[in-house]
Amino acid sequence: MELFGDLGYLGLFIGTFLAATVVPFSSDFLIIGVLVAGANPLLAFILATVGNWLGGLTSYYLGHLGKWEWIEKWLRVKEESLNKHKSKIEKYGSLIALLSWAPFVGDIFAIGLGFYRVDFLKSAVFMFIGKALRFAFWIGLYFLMGESVLSLKFF
């Protein structure tokens, strides 16, 4: 990974962190990109997973800071709607964190877990597992398909 160097790994970490917050882009492109550039797969896996996990925990924390009154006032979401979502979160609990990697809804799940005060430790563990499985999938796919993974038109 000579073209990339240590800054490439730092960029992967920062990029995956930001992608797990409300910044709208995908970590999937980042992990494939650094693999194509010659990154060490194990180091890329660790940095991407930890960066994305910490970003997800940041989203959880932002949700935890939220107040019902703010949501109703600033986002114009009715209490009935908040209660409906709360019942779904309570039904599945911290297991929802397994899906915090999912495009579009993953950040909302992480924020919702914090907002509804779902157990932090359980949420953090399930969030880590979900994000690790996501990056393991992409690295496995890359090695299974080799450079032909680029034919998926990601770049």
pLDDT (tens digit, 0 to 9) for every residue of the chain, 155 residues total? 454 567 889 999 999 999 998 787 889 999 999 998 889 999 999 999 999 999 999 999 998 998 877 777 766 777 777 778 788 888 899 999 999 999 888 988 998 899 999 999 999 999 999 999 999 999 999 988 876 555 455 44
Identify whether the C-beta of residue 44 lies closer than 8 Å to the C-beta of residue 119: no
- CA 102 to each of CA 64, 85, 90, 139, 146: distance values in angstroms, whole numbers, following the listed order: 20, 18, 20, 17, 24
Q: How far apart are CA 23 and CA 44, in angstroms?
A: 21
Model pTM?
Answer: 0.84
Burial of residue 152, with CB atoms counted within 10 A of its CB: 0-12 exposed, 13-18 middle, 19 or more buried: exposed
Sequence spans of domains, the chain:
5-146
